[in-house]
Homo-oligomer: A and B are copies of this chain.
Amino acid sequence: MTAALSTDQLAERHAATLDAALDALRTRAYWSPHPEHPKAYGENGTLDAAAGQAAFEALRERRFELDQPGTDGWTGSEVSPYGPRLGIEYPHADVAVLLPAMRAAMRPWREAGPRTRALVCLEILKRINARTHEMAHAVMHTSGQAFTMAFQAGGPHAQDRGLEAVAYACAAQSEVERTAEWVKPQGKREPLTMAKEFTAAPRGIALVIGCNTFPTWNGYPGLFASLATGNPVLVKPHPRAVLPLALTVRTAREVLRETGFSPDLVALAAERDGEGLAKTLAVHPDVRIIDYTGSTAFGDWLEANARQARVHTEKAGVNTVVVDSTADYRGMLSNLAFSLSLYSGQMCTTPQNLLIPRGGIATDAGHKTYDEVVSDLAESVRQLLSDDTRANALLGALVNDQVKERLDAASRIGEVALASRAVTHPDFPDATVRTPVVVKLDGSKPDAEAAYFSECFGPVSFAVAVDSTADAVDLLRRTIREKGAMTVSAYTTSAEVEHLVEQVCLDESAQLSLNLTGGVYVNQTAAFSDYHGTSGNPAANASLCDPAFVTTRFTTVEVRRHP
């Protein structure tokens, strides 16, 4: 097959970026090849804001063509959380035709080797990056994220996580791909000699089960880790967030074709209403790898039932902030206010339980009682979101009715320290935009535990009064161990408390941010430096990205013979 884009050309374009990515994994210093400012786009073949919006609008009210094998109809019913229906239909796959086509595409992809696969993945990411403005609208109108967040988290930050996975995959496989001469002495006799070849071999078809809130950010690590390790990838998007992954699949297929590989190495499996396609695909014997982000119930089901596959899950957790003391009271309050407000708390990393000693805390602004801390935090959130334009830009829209129902129910759980407020969106009057609610709970009351000891996904936080910091640390441990946590945060000026919290996080495997008072928020992680999840507590059995995230996706096959 002649390739429009040769391996040499790919290396010329991307080798330096790949090497920089491999280096960043080791140093874990700040690095990204993907600009995060919308104005950085518009030159060198990238779409500017207007072209991106036009491209998105041109997708609406029509069929999204993908020339994949085995299309047996069309499906799609996405409605933007901002109101408008998208009106896009996607090919529905006959998996009895599609899966064999994907398997048939594997061998040349395996034979290409880890570095060529990585370079092809980098070309895919580069083309996705060039259309970030289009993707931003696609993510905004499926997840409900505000535009800037949809642009950054759905664009460059997701692309960073994809590239990180490619780099990890390339490094892990490169350690394996080699030949060896093995010579074992036999005393006075001739030594035994063997020539050995070691190849990184893929497992089989990888299934990515997308989520509604972060279709690209949570989808790319698994997608690119599996593809870069030689596996075909079937993408089953959330039915309300198909478009961002459909665009991704289309770009991947285009690049695969141009580089001389079968486009069927990446395919879309959009589902019909109520089809339950994820369940069917997850237990298919040809599916050998699964990446999933979503509910604990379905994640647990996958882990228990998809026995033929390696299953990577990110499920629900309960994120805690231990508030012991601070040397920057205002900084703490404004940092927390931002964390609670961003995307209306619809992030798996948003803090939920703020554990505050009922005796109050020491701060640079003097001693603050529990009530003062809570009301000051409430005021901080109120001020942050007082302007509707700014509120809309931070909050985005509620992604679905269940989030709104949980928000409404939260006010009845305890004393409301900060009531939720409905915000009107100037461009999208049908959008449900809400500020977060903060509810006061007494940690010593058993009925309060029912509320704070489970995930309440959305703009709901609990200010839990605890007996002491030691009590908070105990509750933190129990929460991580039993419920899991994607993030832990703590504020303290005490080296001893810092040490205690660190020990809990090391004992129970949770990622810890200490004394965040500036422009870094506990709910955000940066690829190449921060890990997202640990894989060691019930919130997720995978970490983005650690070596285990890629080493599960390929095997090492040895062929040995006498030389």
| B176 and A530 within 8 A (CB) | no
| B534 and A555 within 8 A (CB) | yes
A474 to B456, CA, bound (A): 53
A562 neighbours in B (Cβ, 8 Å): 515-518, 520
A99 neighbours in B (Cβ, 8 Å): none
| B555 and A536 within 8 A (CB) | yes
Name the CB-closest residue of B to A37: B187
Which of chain A's residues 507-563 have a Cβ closer than 8 Å to chain B?
A: 507, 509-520, 526, 529-531, 534-536, 543, 546-548, 551-552, 555-562
A557 to B28, CA, bound (A): 14
Q: Can you list 17 A-B contacts (CB < 8 A)?
A: A26-B175, A28-B180, A29-B183, A30-B184, A176-B546, A194-B520, A201-B507, A505-B557, A509-B557, A510-B557, A513-B559, A514-B561, A536-B555, A536-B557, A546-B551, A547-B551, A551-B551
* Binary per-residue interface labels of chain A (156-199) against chain B in the complex, 1 for a CB within 8 Å, 0 otherwise: 00000000000000001001101011111110000010101011
A558 neighbours in B (Cβ, 8 Å): 511-512, 530-531
Partner-B contacts on A (CB < 8 A): 26-30, 106-107, 110, 172, 175-176, 178, 180-186, 192, 194, 196, 198-199, 201, 203, 300, 303-304, 307, 502-503, 505-507, 509-520, 526, 529-531, 534-536, 543, 546-548, 551-552, 555-562
A194 neighbours in B (Cβ, 8 Å): 520
Give the interface centre of A106, A196, A517 by most chain B CB atoms within 10 Å. Answer: A196
Name the CB-closest residue of B to A535: B555
**Given A106-B507, A543-B555, A543-B556, 6 new contacts (CB under 8 A):** A28-B182, A192-B518, A192-B519, A506-B557, A512-B559, A546-B555
Q: How many copies does the complex hold?
A: 2
Name the CB-closest residue of B to A186: B519
Q: Shortest Cβ distance from A297 into chain B, in angstroms?
A: 14
A535 to B557, CA, bound (A): 10
A366 to B105, CA, bound (A): 41
- Pick the 4 closest A-B CB pairs, nearest first: A536-B555, A28-B180, A548-B551, A514-B561
With beta carbons under 8 angstroms apart, the residue of B29, B534, B548, B557 that contacts A534 is B557
A516 neighbours in B (Cβ, 8 Å): 562
| B196 and A529 within 8 A (CB) | yes
With beta carbons under 8 angstroms apart, the residue of B199, B520, B529 that contacts A180 is B529
A397 to B307, CA, bound (A): 36
Give the interface centre of A182, A196, A203, A307 by most chain B CB atoms within 10 Å. Answer: A182
A551 neighbours in B (Cβ, 8 Å): 546-548, 551
A430 to B186, CA, bound (A): 35
A535 to B29, CA, bound (A): 34
A556-B561 contact, Cβ under 8 Å, with A27-B180, A303-B307, A507-B107: no
| B509 and A201 within 8 A (CB) | yes
